[in-house]
Amino acid sequence: MISRVRGELAAVRSDRVEVMTVAGVGYEIIVPARVFETLPEPGGEMDLHTALVSRDDALELFGFGSALDRELFLRLQGASGVGPRLALAILGTLPSRRIVSALRSRSHETLQMVSGVGRKTAERMALELADKLEDLAVSTGSASDDEPLDGTTAALEALRALGYSQLESESALRAARRELDGEVETGELIRAALRHL
């Protein structure tokens, strides 16, 4: 199993990055939207915790900013109907501690904020995973479901509500983040992202 990849950021694509290691091996790693917020400039050093997922027709490497995110990604797939893409979307939309809190408290509304998670899926996930996340709840600390979303997540939700796809919204937000310097208001981030749609 490939559990960690450290190297130079060689390329950024819509939902993945390419990391070139010092050994000369390049890894294509699919990452959640939240990881794009922390990427260095191309050529910069990066370190990702990874999970290798084997399918009938492909091997896919998924990368995360922390070991906790990787573990949560693996646990989410323990719920029936949740595959790697949906687990990735969940981690791309909500912070880990909020996901753990929502599952343990069976807060379906929080989980339904994720594109692709309807009421039945949210209920099933909470039912099947609520009692299996106690160790992760300790790691993440307590979090309120009423905790405000950070600017990028709130902007992503706003763009999705306007009818743009997850991929279009994430791409526009990445472009807007590169264009804007430092911390910005959510409204300003949304306006900048709309110029890229």
Dist. CA 150–CA 157, nearest whole Å: 11
Q: What is the model's pLDDT at position 148?
A: 43
- Tens of pLDDT along 29-81? 999 998 988 899 999 999 999 999 998 888 999 999 999 999 999 999 999 99
Q: Which CATH number fits domain 67-140: 3.55.40.20, 3.40.50.300, 1.10.150.20, 3.20.20.70?
A: 1.10.150.20
Which sign does the torsion angle of CA 84, 24, 9, 167 carry?
negative
Q: Which CATH architecture has domain 4-64?
A: Beta Barrel (2.40)
- Tens of pLDDT along 125-166? 999 998 888 888 765 554 443 344 456 777 888 888 888 877
Global pTM value: 0.69
Measured in whole angstroms, the distance separating CA 126 from the mean position of its chain's CA atoms is 19
- Tens of pLDDT along 21-37? 999 999 999 999 989 88
27 DSSP β-pair partners: 19
Q: What is the model's pLDDT at position 197?
A: 86
List the domain boundaries for the chain: 4-64, 67-140, 151-194
Dist. CA 154–CA 173, nearest whole Å: 11
Are the C-beta atoms of 103 and 111 separated by less than 8 Å?
A: yes
Which sign does the torsion angle of CA 87, 101, 75, 129 carry?
negative
